[in-house]
């Protein structure tokens, strides 16, 4: 009888433990059902924001990256700062567009809206993002805000045919103490070396044209293709070579020396962003890189 009683006791304990286990499982399952679903890599969680460097005066140089496709395109505004402030506004407009329109699956798109934030601040007087209402109605002197805080023309500070003095509109400008002497140029260089993008588009103003890039080895065939694609869609003139005066140390030329296609898109004025035209050019590049 004692042995039978022990068996019954063991069975009872086992049933109680089993019941407790089932109860705990159901309670945890109910709790999991009330939790929000985890975020997966395929969900759209907005752009990846990076600070890729600081200007001479310590202002952030930012990059916003959308998508995760195999082909990486980079768009850059404002390397000439406040003098070409509309190229910065165009870049911010493009960021707004990318936040509400999905990037094609085959692409990664990065936007560096202001490659010379000190030059922008000199004209606009606003840190970071600004609007059209922040821009003075009249810029006092030609070239105001074009250079960085060291008075260096950043688009003469890259390592392609670099010289300490270069030219802009017939005037001599400082290209820095050496190639990549300026932190803003270093930020672009380091971004390129880290991520090795497939193509670059620089927005400038105001020549109403799209220019190809080249260094000692000449123009890359792919550069001519994207120049033609963008200019045809946007309605800008296509120009293979800028020959108005000698340019040394430009960012686009340095990229060409790294076998990376780069084009310069020159807006028609210093005051407009010509959004519809440029969106057409952007979409043409998206289609050009369709696998």
* 189 and 91 inside one domain: yes
* 147 and 203 inside one domain: yes
pTM score? 0.84
Residue spans of alpha helices (H) in the chain = 2-34, 85-100, 117-124, 183-195, 221-234, 251-257, 275-288
Q: In the chain, pLDDT over 90 holds for what percent of residues?
A: 79
* 191 and 258 inside one domain: yes
User: Phi and psi of 56, rounded to 5°?
Assistant: -55, -40
Q: Which two tokens stand for residue 172?
A: 């001599």
| CATH number of the domain bearing residue 270 | 3.40.630.10
Span 203-218, pLDDT tens digits: 999 999 999 999 999 9
* 29 and 134 inside one domain: no
* 156 and 56 inside one domain: yes
The number of beta carbons lying within 10 Å of the beta carbon of residue 197 is 19
Q: Is residue 186 part of a domain?
A: yes
Using CA atoms, how far residue 231 sits from 108, 260, 279, in Å, is 21, 19, 11
Maximum CA extent, the chain: 114
Angle between helices 275-288 and 221-234 (to 10 degrees): 140
Q: Is residue 43 part of a domain?
A: no
pLDDT at 249: 98
Domain of 150, in residue numbers: 48-288
- pLDDT band per the 50, 70, 90 thresholds, residue 142: confident
Span 31-81, pLDDT tens digits: 444 433 433 333 444 699 999 999 999 999 999 999 999 999 999 999 999
Domain count, the chain: 2
67 burial level (CB within 10 Å; 0-12, 13-18, 19+): buried
* 206 and 264 inside one domain: yes
Using CA atoms, how far residue 43 sits from 38, 47, 66, 134, in Å, is 10, 12, 12, 36
* 31 and 63 inside one domain: no
* 81 and 205 inside one domain: yes
């Amino acid at each position: 009888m004692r042995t039978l009683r022990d068996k019954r006791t063991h069975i009872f304990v086992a049933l109680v433990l089993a019941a407790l286990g089932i109860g705990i499982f159901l309670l945890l399952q109910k709790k999991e059902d009330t939790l929000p679903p985890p975020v997966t890599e395929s969900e759209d969680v907005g752009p990846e924001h990076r600070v890729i460097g600081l200007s001479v005066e310590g202002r952030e140089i930012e990059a916003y990256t959308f998508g995760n496709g195999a082909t990486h395109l980079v768009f850059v505004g404002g390397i000439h700062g406040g003098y070409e402030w509309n190229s910065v506004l165009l870049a911010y407009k493009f960021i707004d567009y990318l936040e509400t329109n999905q990037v094609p699956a085959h692409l990664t798109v990065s936007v560096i809206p202001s490659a010379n934030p000190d030059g922008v601040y000199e004209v606009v007087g606003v840190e970071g993002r600004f609007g059209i209402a922040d821009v003075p109605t009249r810029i006092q002197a030609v070239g105001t805000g074009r250079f960085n805080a060291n008075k260096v023309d950043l688009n003469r500070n890259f390592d392609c045919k670099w010289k300490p003095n270069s030219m802009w509109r017939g005037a001599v400008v400082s290209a820095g103490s050496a190639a990549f002497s300026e932190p803003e140029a270093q930020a672009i260089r380091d971004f390129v070396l880290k991520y090795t993008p497939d193509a670059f588009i620089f927005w400038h103003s105001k020549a109403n044209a799209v220019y190809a890039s080249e260094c000692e080895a000449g123009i890359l065939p792919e550069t001519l293709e994207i120049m033609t694609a963008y200019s045809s869609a946007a309605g800008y003139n296509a120009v293979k070579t800028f020959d108005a005066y000698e340019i040394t140390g430009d960012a686009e030329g340095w990229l060409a020396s790294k076998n990376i296609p780069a084009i310069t898109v020159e807006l028609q004025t210093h005051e407009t962003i010509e959004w519809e035209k440029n969106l057409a050019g952007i979409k043409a590049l998206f289609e050009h890189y369709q696998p």
